[in-house]
């Protein structure tokens, strides 16, 4: 006779279905969600299990638009090359592109949101109430980073050296929706005061301001990168659609392969741990 155990239980507030009905987040999917909830709104709702306001949705979708596509990024190229190689698997091409969403190219959004949040949390509940207060906090923050020889996430851009056009636009939208919270306040103050601490003027970049805006929307910091990836999924579908109609991946591949130069192996030896006099060998 088979051994008996307690039935396991896996709770979820996400999708569930019975013979007659499908629910999502406690709502009837067909009647209450389909046709009345936009896709950005739904993504926000799924991530937080609370329905965003119209203003929150607008700021959120502005962030997604800002991050959706930046042309021929490494991730876009990886997606196109993967489609070239495995045209039968759209999901693989998409996944390959998302896997580039790590610390360097998509990470600024998350890094900036977290950085601002850490500074704010360290204020022990007493936040500035005017620009002068924010400026003072920002100046101390930038100076501390400089002293520690660390960059301020979200500061600087290799192309938009005079200002990232997304930044003022997102501030304007957040202001229109009355959703400028402490992360955006602090980031704006960093934009104002960092020349005093760094001796040069850098732009607040779009990825950084998106991180600040997402944090002010009350989204979980652990998932800020996830929202950048969601935005990028739409962008990668655009890349795939364009590649299917106006392909460039094979030409990119050939531009590398035909220009390879075969060189002799360069044997790797790890750095030596022991001085010779120590008489040991690794």
Hey, which residues between 155 and 184 contact a copy of itself (CB under 8 A)? 159-163, 165-166, 168-170, 172-173, 176, 181-183
What is the rounded (10 degree) CA torsion for 145, 151, 155, 161? 130
The single-letter DSSP state of residue 272 is P
Is residue 201 near a copy of itself by the rule CB under 8 A? no
Q: Which of 208, 114, 126 shows the shortest CA–CA distance to 166?
A: 208
Helix (H, G, I), strand (E, B) or coil at 58: helix
Nearest residue (CB) to a copy of itself, 106 versus 155? 106
Q: Which of 56, 93, 190, 212 binds a copy of itself (CB under 8 A)?
A: 93
Is residue 53 near a copy of itself by the rule CB under 8 A? no
Cβ neighbours, 10 Å, residue 119: 19
Taking a C-beta distance cutoff of 8 angstroms, is the pair 103, 228 a contact? no
Binding residues among 122-151 for a copy of itself as defined by CB under 8 A: 123-129
The site map against a copy of itself for 251-280 (x = CB under 8 A) is: xxx-xxx-xxxxxxxxxxxxxxxxx--xxx
Q: Which of 139, 143, 198, 237 binds a copy of itself (CB under 8 A)?
A: 237
Q: Which of 55, 56, 102, 191 binds a copy of itself (CB under 8 A)?
A: 102
Q: Which of 53, 68, 112, 148 binds a copy of itself (CB under 8 A)?
A: 68
Burial class (CB in 10 A: 0-12, 13-18, 19+), 105: middle
Is residue 58 near a copy of itself by the rule CB under 8 A? yes
Is residue 112 near a copy of itself by the rule CB under 8 A? no
d(CA 9, CA 218): 30
Is residue 48 near a copy of itself by the rule CB under 8 A? yes
Cβ neighbours, 10 Å, residue 19: 4
Is residue 19 near a copy of itself by the rule CB under 8 A? yes
Nearest residue (CB) to a copy of itself, 196 versus 220? 220
d(CA 27, CA 21): 10
Counting residues that bind a copy of itself (by CB under 8 A) gives: 169
Is residue 200 near a copy of itself by the rule CB under 8 A? no
- Using the contact rule CB under 8 A, the part of the chain among 139-147, 153-161, 187-195 near a copy of itself is 153-161
Cα R_g (the chain), whole angstroms: 24
Is residue 23 near a copy of itself by the rule CB under 8 A? yes
Is residue 227 near a copy of itself by the rule CB under 8 A? yes
Length of the chain: 282
Q: Which of 52, 90, 30 shows the shortest CA–CA distance to 227?
A: 52
Q: How far is the CB of 6 from a copy of itself (least distance, A)?
A: 4
Q: How far is the CB of 197 from a copy of itself (least distance, A)?
A: 23
The H-or-E segment that residue 80 falls in is helix 74-85
Is residue 9 near a copy of itself by the rule CB under 8 A? yes
Nearest residue (CB) to a copy of itself, 197 versus 208? 208
d(CA 103, CA 108): 7
d(CA 100, CA 70): 13
């Amino acid at each position: 006779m088979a051994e008996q155990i307690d039935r396991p239980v896996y709770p979820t507030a996400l999708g569930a279905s019975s013979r007659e009905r499908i629910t999502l987040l406690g709502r009837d999917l067909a009647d209450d969600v389909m046709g009345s909830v936009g896709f950005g709104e739904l993504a926000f709702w799924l991530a937080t299990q609370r329905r965003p306001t119209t203003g929150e949705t607008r700021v959120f979708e502005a962030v997604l638009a800002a991050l959706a596509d930046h042309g021929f990024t490494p991730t876009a190229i990886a997606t196109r090359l993967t489609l070239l190689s495995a045209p039968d698997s759209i999901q693989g091409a998409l996944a390959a592109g998302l896997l580039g969403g790590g610390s360097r190219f998509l990470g600024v959004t998350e890094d900036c949101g977290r950085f601002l949040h850490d500074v704010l949390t360290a204020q022990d509940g007493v936040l500035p109430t005017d620009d002068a207060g924010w400026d003072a906090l920002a100046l101390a923050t930038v100076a501390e980073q400089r002293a520690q020889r660390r960059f301020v996430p979200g500061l600087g851009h290799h192309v938009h050296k005079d200002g990232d056009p997304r930044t003022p636009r997102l501030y304007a939208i957040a202001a229109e929706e009355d959703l400028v919270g402490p992360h955006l306040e602090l980031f704006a103050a960093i934009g104002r005061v960092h020349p005093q601490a760094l001796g040069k003027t850098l732009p607040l970049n779009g990825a950084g301001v998106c991180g600040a805006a997402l944090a002010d929307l009350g989204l979980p910091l652990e998932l800020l990168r996830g929202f950048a990836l969601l935005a990028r999924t739409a962008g990668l579908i655009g890349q795939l659609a364009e590649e299917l109609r106006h392909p460039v991946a094979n030409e990119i591949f050939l531009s590398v392969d035909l220009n390879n130069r075969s060189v002799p192996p360069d044997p790797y030896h790890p750095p030596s741990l022991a001085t010779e006099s120590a008489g040991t060998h690794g």
